[in-house]
């Protein structure tokens, strides 16, 4: 079962991570690992505080990244939950349809 919204949300999160990593690499002058680490820590709102942007552009980008990260993570989590809930409902519906039912169950449906 494909979920295009989930695929789009995860793709957006990956793209945001990549672009932000490159941005902080060149604007702040950090190494690739530090730029990636800062991006992931900021996106996930953990915020260890061991890396702090020093340039005005870096500070503005970090605040935008925080807001975008909250929204992106919330949307991805919601899409994952929706996907698994639909899958479970489908599975339970299949089980219910294939179990024998008593006459009392049939009257409850009417």
- Name the pLDDT band for 20 (thresholds 50, 70, 90): very high
> Residues 6 or more apart from 73 whose CB is under 8 A from it?
13, 43, 44, 45
pLDDT in tens, 46-88: 888 889 999 999 999 999 999 988 888 888 888 888 888 888 8
Mean pLDDT computed over every residue of the chain: 85
**CATH says 4-109 is which class?**
mainly alpha
pLDDT in tens, 78-94: 888 888 888 887 877 77
The mean pLDDT of 88-107, rounded to a whole number, is 69
- pTM metric for this prediction: 0.71
pLDDT of residue 6: 80
The DSSP string of 31-88 is -HHHHHHHHHHHHTT---SSS---SHHHHHHHHHHHHHHHHHHHHHHHHHHHHHHHHH
Task: Name the residue among 76, 46, 42 with its Cα closest to residue 60.
Answer: 42
């Amino acid at each position: 079962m494909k979920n295009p919204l989930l695929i789009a949300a995860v793709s957006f999160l990956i793209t945001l991570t990549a672009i932000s990593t490159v941005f902080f690499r060149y604007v702040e002058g950090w190494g690739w690992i530090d730029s990636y680490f800062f991006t992931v820590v900021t996106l996930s709102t953990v915020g260890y505080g061991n890396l702090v942007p020093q340039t005005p552009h870096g500070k503005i980008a970090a605040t935008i990244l925080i807001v975008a990260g909250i929204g992106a993570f919330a949307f991805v989590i919601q899409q994952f939950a929706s996907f698994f809930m639909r899958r479970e409902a489908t599975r339970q519906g299949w089980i219910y349809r294939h179990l024998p039912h008593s006459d009392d169950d049939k009257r409850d449906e009417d």
